[in-house]
Amino acid sequence: MRRSRLVIPAVALVGVLLAAPVAGGAFSGKKAKRWTREVADIGARVAGGENERRAGRMVRTRLNALGYETERQRFALPNGGRSRNIIGRTPGRLRVIVVAHIDGVRGTEAANDNASGVGTMLEVARNLRGTNGVLVAALGAEERMMTGSSWHLGSRRLTRSLTAAEKDGVRLALSIDMVGVGTTFHVRGLEASPNRSARRLLRAAERAGARATYLQDTGQSDHDDLTRGGVAAAWVQWRWDTCWHRPCDTIDRVRRWKLWQAGRVVLRAARAAAD
Ligand SMILES: [Zn+2]
């Protein structure tokens, strides 16, 4: 009995020491940029195409390595093709959803729109791997001008996969989309004033000393279908990018510190929401 009393605290202490760096980790702009480059280097990632699939496989491998429980959600495209979401989850009741679309328009490596979001999401995922109730995702088929759909099909598929109870428990849902280029940092939403997720992000920005302004939008990213599907979501974006949907949307224009600014705000909001 005496021996076991000594052993248990020692094991607990080792557990605390191992867990501490995970719980208190910091967002690395350098790591986010590295992943952004990996995704952009694959080239144009049109919904339903081989490059979109390749990028998705890369994300799944990474999320598996981080210890996430991963899943591939497939869905049909209007042109007869198929796209997919790559989902990673940690245990516990769902509290936080962080998504970034992995597809892009034809004829561009789509580094800012949206390899930058995927790279940032992966670095957020690294920092949240020890946190319960997290869902991270690389979503397919966001670009409506490529799919011909009036919906953002990946986020629609994801939202439909959640139960009503899961949706009720979510405190923060957001899309990271175009976070490497631009002069103003925005939290965006469908509503005239910030919804619950947007308020959490704005509060996190303030606490982080990052200047962020709320800007209403008409639903130009995956927060749109999350919100319409019953999960009030926000969009994190640097704007404006003059190379949006053009061949000049290249990796050399993506700024590491902008990824860092967006990522650390998302991470701070996610940690507060998961508690
Ligand atoms: Zn986008």
Work out the mean pLDDT of the chain and round it to a whole number.
93
pLDDT tens digits for range 166-204: 999 999 999 999 999 999 999 999 999 999 999 999 999
pTM score, whole prediction? 0.92
Q: Which residues contact 214 (CB under 8 A, 6 or more apart)?
A: 186, 187, 188, 189, 193, 194, 198, 202
pLDDT tens digits for range 98-155: 999 999 999 999 999 999 999 999 999 999 999 999 999 999 999 999 999 999 999 9
Boundaries of every domain in the chain: 25-274
Instruction: Tell how far the Cα of 143 is from the centroid of ligand 1, in angstroms.
Output: 7
| Ligand 1 center–CA 179 separation, angstroms | 10
Residue 195 contacts residue 166 (beta carbons within 8 Å) = no
Q: Residue 122: what pLDDT?
A: 98
Q: How far is the CA of 22 from the centre of ligand 1 (A)?
A: 30
| Predicted confidence (pLDDT) at residue 250 exceeds the cutoff of 50 | yes
Q: Which residues surround ligand 1, an ion (CB under 5 A)?
A: 113-114, 177
- Answer yes or no: is pLDDT of 14 > 70: no
Please give the CATH superfamily to which domain 25-274 belongs.
Zn peptidases (3.40.630.10)
Instruction: State the distance from the centre of ligand 1 to the C-alpha of 177, rounded, in angstroms.
Output: 5
- The count of other CB atoms within 10 Å of the CB of residue 9 is 9
